[in-house]
């Protein structure tokens, strides 16, 4: 059977959205169109229509709409081929639910619901296939973050587990089922406000659009496969989410929001961000943008250096670093190598100190030894080390951040001390720093901020 009116599939349009428009163009209720499809397809087959439709389903829709089978397939997640979030060829039409669970277990597969740019919905009412990817976080046409939740019913967009089509079809109303049977949320999704993208999240989304369009990206300065680019970003963003959830030192609003989402999640052993990433595109976007800023460095060395600030935030007291990251990372080649390289920083006190983010100080602002009155307020006692040595070490640590200072000897010389005294002091403190790193560096950062506010020449 062929329907009398056959609107063309729009570029990027998702299959469920197309079917709603097809029904509307033919004055059919979405329910009637589904009934027609159900004469050849099972309910289960319809349920996974937007993920990976079976060849039978594609032929049935093609017969009704006159659209090319390949174009219809491209309007689904499976249509991304090697760039799809999972290998959907493993979805078995005979047992879709069971086989889907195995596919979803690989992580970052949006099984139901989607995301949307409210401005795009307002402009043309077309839902994009790319919005069904967790990798997507924003709309580069409207420069804003996507939304994934309806503010009225508080449920994911298009949150129906039983039917791919919404009851009222192509309108911009939410139409999620409500608790009262037969009633639907009528919030206009085109009116939702979402945050503008930042420079960083926008750079990530532009790069993703480029990859999804089939262009070859660069990863750590080298040309890479699109699928590799996607999986490395996914892995590193997941690790960044894990580090953020485990570290109380959260400074950015998205990190606080991530912790809120983590406490709402019901995973028994804590959230597994590598399997189910943050639902909020805004939070996910910031984690992906952090990963992107590291993975776009020109070479692995500078990427490992950029990753050090994150590695230092992994709680040093809990578990060995390698176990900690191994449990939280899929086996991605680049990211694992980066983590191992960046992890050197935790074993070498000098590297750990230079990887710290500290305010910029001039040599004149750093005393050759931190006065005890100031040190006692901020620094922990270091076992086996006198306070005087600790205070001299703190001054040296700050001096290691001066331009052109790369060794302890140079740090001492910058403070007007003999170079070998710097090496001796650092050696005395290095053992204690293995166990007191976190409290010491935290105090050091506070000290540096205080010193940064003193004018050169008025050393405390």
The Cα 99–Cα 95 span in angstroms is: 6
Burial group, residue 440, by CB count within 10 angstroms (0-12, 13-18, 19+) = buried
Q: Tell me if 139 contacts Zn ion by CB under 5 A.
A: yes
What the block records as the tokens of 156 is: 């994911």
What the block records as the tokens of 277 is: 């990433």
Instruction: Kindly state the smallest distance separating residue 178's Cβ from Zn ion, in Å.
Output: 8
Quick one: which segment of 133-141, 257-265, 359-367, 408-416 binds Zn ion (CB under 5 A)?
133-141
What string marks each residue from 350 to 389 as x (binds Zn ion by CB under 5 A) or -?
Answer: ----------------------------------------
φ/ψ region of 86 (left if φ > 0, alpha if ψ in -120 to 50, else beta) reads beta
Binds Zn ion (CB under 5 A): choice among 6, 59, 112, 142: 142
What string marks each residue from 169 to 208 as x (binds Zn ion by CB under 5 A) or -?
Answer: -----x-x--------x-x---------------------
What would you report as the CA-atom Rg of the chain, rounded to the nearest whole angstrom?
A: 27
Instruction: With beta carbons less than 8 A apart as the criterion, state whether 402 and 411 touch.
Output: yes
Q: Tell me if 33 contacts Zn ion by CB under 5 A.
A: no
The Cα 31–Cα 316 span in angstroms is: 57
Instruction: With beta carbons less than 8 A apart as the criterion, state whether 296 and 288 touch.
Output: no
Choose among 275, 147, 292: nearest CA to 210. 292
CB-nearer residue toward Zn ion: 141 or 459: 141
Instruction: Kindly state the smallest distance separating residue 284's Cβ from Zn ion, in Å.
Output: 17
Q: Tell me if 313 contacts Zn ion by CB under 5 A.
A: no
Instruction: Kindly state the smallest distance separating residue 112's Cβ from Zn ion, in Å.
Output: 15
Binds Zn ion (CB under 5 A): choice among 117, 212, 353, 415: 117
Instruction: With beta carbons less than 8 A apart as the criterion, state whether 304 and 334 touch.
Output: no
Instruction: Kindly state the smallest distance separating residue 190's Cβ from Zn ion, in Å.
Output: 10
Q: Tell me if 209 contacts Zn ion by CB under 5 A.
A: no
Using alpha carbons only, give the angle 78, 79, 83 rounded to the nearest 5 degrees: 80
CA 261 to chain centre: 13
Q: Tell me if 103 contacts Zn ion by CB under 5 A.
A: no
Q: Tell me if 143 contacts Zn ion by CB under 5 A.
A: no
Phi and psi for 311 in degrees, rounded to 5? -60, -35
Q: Tell me if 152 contacts Zn ion by CB under 5 A.
A: yes
Q: Tell me if 438 contacts Zn ion by CB under 5 A.
A: no
Q: Tell me if 153 contacts Zn ion by CB under 5 A.
A: yes
CB-nearer residue toward Zn ion: 12 or 300: 12
Instruction: Kindly state the smallest distance separating residue 75's Cβ from Zn ion, in Å.
Output: 18
Chain residues that interact with Zn ion, rule: CB under 5 A? 117, 119-120, 139, 141-142, 150, 152-153, 174, 176, 185, 187
């Amino acid at each position: 059977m062929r329907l009398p009116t056959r609107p063309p599939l729009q570029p990027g349009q998702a299959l469920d959205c197309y079917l709603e428009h097809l029904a509307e163009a033919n004055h059919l209720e979405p329910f009637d169109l589904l009934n027609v499809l159900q004469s050849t397809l099972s309910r289960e087959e319809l349920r996974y229509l937007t993920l990976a439709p079976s060849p039978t389903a594609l032929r049935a829709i093609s017969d009704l709409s006159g659209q090319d089978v390949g174009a219809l397939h491209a309007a689904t997640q499976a249509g991304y081929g090697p760039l799809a979030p999972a290998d959907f060829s493993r979805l078995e039409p005979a047992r879709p639910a069971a086989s889907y669970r195995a596919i979803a277990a690989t992580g970052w597969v949006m099984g139901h619901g989607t995301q949307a740019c409210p401005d795009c919905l307002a402009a043309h009412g077309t839902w994009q296939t790319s919005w069904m990817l967790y990798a997507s976080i924003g709309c580069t046409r409207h420069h804003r973050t996507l939304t994934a939740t309806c503010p009225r019913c508080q449920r994911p967009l298009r949150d129906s587990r039983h039917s791919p089509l919404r009851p009222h079809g192509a309108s911009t109303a939410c139409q999620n089922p409500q608790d009262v049977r037969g009633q639907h949320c009528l919030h206009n999704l085109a009116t939702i406000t979402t945050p503008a993208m930042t420079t960083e999240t926008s750079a990530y989304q532009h790069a993703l659009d480029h990859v999804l369009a089939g262009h070859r990206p660069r990863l750590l300065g080298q040309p890479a496969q699109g699928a590799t680019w996607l999986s490395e970003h996914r892995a590193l963003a997941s690790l960044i989410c894990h580090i953020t959830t485990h570290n109380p030192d959260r400074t950015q609003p998205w990190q606080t929001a991530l912790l809120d989402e983590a406490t709402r999640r019901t995973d028994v052993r804590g959230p597994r961000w590598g399997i189910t990433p943050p639902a909020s595109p805004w939070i996910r976007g910031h984690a992906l943008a952090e990963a992107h800023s590291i993975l776009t460095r020109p070479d692995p060395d500078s990427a490992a250096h950029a990753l050090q600030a994150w590695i230092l935030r992994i709680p040093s007291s809990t578990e060995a670093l390698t176990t900690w990251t191994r449990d939280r990372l899929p086996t991605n080649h680049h990211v694992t190598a980066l983590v191992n390289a960046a992890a050197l920083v935790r074993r070498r006190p000098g590297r750990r100190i230079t990887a710290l983010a500290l305010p910029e100080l001039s040599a004149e602002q750093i005393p050759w030894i931190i006065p005890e009155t100031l040190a006692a307020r901020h620094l922990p006692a270091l076992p086996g080390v006198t306070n005087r040595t600790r205070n001299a070490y703190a001054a040296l640590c700050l001096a290691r951040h001066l331009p052109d200072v790369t060794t302890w000897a140079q740090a001492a010389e910058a403070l007007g001390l003999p170079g070998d005294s710097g090496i001796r002091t650092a050696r005395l403190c290095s053992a204690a720093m293995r166990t007191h790193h976190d409290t010491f560096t935290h105090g050091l950062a506070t000290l540096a901020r205080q010193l940064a506010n003193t004018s050169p020449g008025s050393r405390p």
